[in-house]
């Protein structure tokens, strides 16, 4: 093991933060660490909106499903996939803009995820805690209007950042044998491994909730995939210029 790997293994989502502010120089350094992430075709298709205004934070918390830590964290960032900025270069060089292709959408969205995870690792390395907020996609139009996002830009997720005021356990992950396949995709032995993992997850939730619900991973994802999930996103993305040709 080394300190970086140890740090990655210790990741938890933090939902309670102290009132301590993040030093601005440190904050900027963490942002630059995010920028150092890989970027497909050198697109650099991610833009971060830093939201400090109290009223805006309150609205974003409500839009995200009344997640109060959006208001309480020292910093709240909205990570956006951005094809407008590179699209401006098309106009500058007299080239047609074809950024509404599905591949361009994927490239920009992956860029956002890579940048955010780099930033998160940097933040956790100096004792900060984080919580990704996918809930901003509950109301993407309201979020976009609040942040004045133009065509070619969409909010992918939010990120709470601050000093932790809790010390939760790490959540167990699927066995490596389930997600790592040799040469071809196969599921041999996966059912037994997942059954054992489900019991581990049930115990994790029982401990976290003080003896409350003990839902398994399989139950959790079965519920997720059996219900409609933000069906408004397709129309919203089209309105923002992501027509997925």
Q: With CA atoms as reference, report the closest residue to 198 among 221, 168, 165.
A: 221
Query: Which residues, including other chains, have CB under 8 Å from residue 173's CB and lie 6 or more apart?
Result: none
Q: How confident is the model at residue 214 (pLDDT cuts 50, 70, 90)?
A: confident
**Tell me: the pLDDT tens digits for 65-74?**
999 999 999 9
Bin 167: left if φ > 0, else alpha if -120 < ψ < 50, else beta. beta
**Tell me: the pLDDT tens digits for 16-61?**
999 999 999 999 999 999 999 999 999 999 999 999 999 999 999 9
Stated pTM of the model = 0.95
Percent of the chain past pLDDT 90, that is, above it, reads 91
**Tell me: the pLDDT tens digits for 116-128?**
999 999 999 999 9
In the prediction, which pLDDT does 197 show? 97
Write down the residue that tokens 């992956």 correspond to.
Answer: 110
- Residues 220-232 as b/e (b if ≥16 CB within 10 A, e otherwise) read eeeeeeeeeeeee
Looking at 79-88, 99-108, 115-124, 209-218, which range is the least confident one?
Answer: 209-218
In the prediction, which pLDDT does 102 show? 94
DSSP assigned state of 188: T
The first and second tokens of residue 59, run together, are 């609205």
Is 239 a residue whose pLDDT tops 90?
yes
| CA torsion angle 239 42 52 123 (round to 10) | 130
User: How far apart (Å, rounded) are the C-alpha atoms in residues 10 and 123?
Assistant: 13
């Amino acid at each position: 093991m080394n300190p970086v790997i140890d740090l990655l293994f210790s990741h938890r989502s933090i939902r309670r933060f102290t009132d301590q502010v993040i030093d601005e120089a440190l904050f900027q350094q963490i942002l630059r660490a995010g920028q150092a992430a890989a970027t497909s075709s050198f697109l650099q298709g991610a833009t971060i909106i830093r939201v400090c205004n109290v009223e805006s934070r309150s609205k974003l918390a409500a839009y995200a499903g009344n997640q109060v830590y959006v208001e309480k964290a020292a910093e709240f960032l909205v990570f956006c996939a951005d094809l407008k900025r590179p699209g401006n270069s098309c106009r500058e060089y007299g080239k047609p803009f074809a950024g509404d292709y599905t591949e361009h959408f994927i490239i920009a969205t992956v860029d956002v995820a890579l940048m955010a995870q780099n930033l998160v690792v940097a933040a956790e390395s100096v004792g900060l805690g984080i919580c990704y907020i996918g809930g901003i996609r509950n109301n993407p139009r309201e979020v976009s209007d609040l942040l004045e996002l133009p065509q070619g830009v969409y909010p992918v997720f939010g990120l709470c950042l601050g000093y932790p005021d809790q010390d939760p356990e790490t959540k167990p992950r699927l066995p490596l044998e389930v997600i790592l396949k040799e040469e071809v995709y196969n599921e041999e032995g996966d059912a037994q491994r997942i059954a054992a993992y489900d019991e581990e997850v049930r115990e994790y939730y029982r401990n976290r909730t003080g003896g409350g619900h003990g839902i398994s991973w399989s139950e959790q994802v079965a519920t997720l995939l059996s219900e409609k999930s933000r069906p408004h996103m397709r129309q919203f993305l089209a309105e923002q210029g992501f027509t997925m040709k």
